[in-house]
Amino acid sequence: MIRIIFQLILIICILILQIVLSRTKSKIPGLVLPGLMILGYVPFLYAITGGPNILWLIGTLPIVILLLIYCICRRKFRRQNQLEKMQIQDLE
């Protein structure tokens, strides 16, 4: 029971960290966690399963979730930048 709670807390912390990193002005910090997972996790899955199959697709689901969080946060950031540019143009 304690192990499950610890794993849930760890997952929540990783998701919060991904959101915080994705909301920075620079694009690179938000790609750190998915990049690390790709470098460490995908070769491991490929070695175990021998190639793409259903287990491989399920195993890459955390990477997809982190990339979706990144895209959603960056889209909001891009919208905000566009609004600021429009306001500056209106002032000129």
Q: What mean pLDDT is reported for the chain?
A: 88
Name the nearest CA neighbour of 65 among 9, 15, 8, 3.
15
User: What is the Cα Rg of the chain in Å?
Assistant: 18
42-70 per-position pLDDT tens digit? 788 778 777 667 877 887 899 999 999 99
Residue-level pLDDT at 13: 97
- Dihedral of alpha carbons 84, 86, 87, 92, sign: positive
Please state the rounded mean pLDDT for residues 28-50.
87
Q: How confident is the model at residue 5 (pLDDT cuts 50, 70, 90)?
A: very high
Q: Where exactly are the structural domains of the chain?
A: 2-91
- DSSP letter assigned to residue 30: G
The three-class DSSP label of residue 81 is helix
Residue 23, both tokens: 């909301």
Residue-level pLDDT at 9: 97
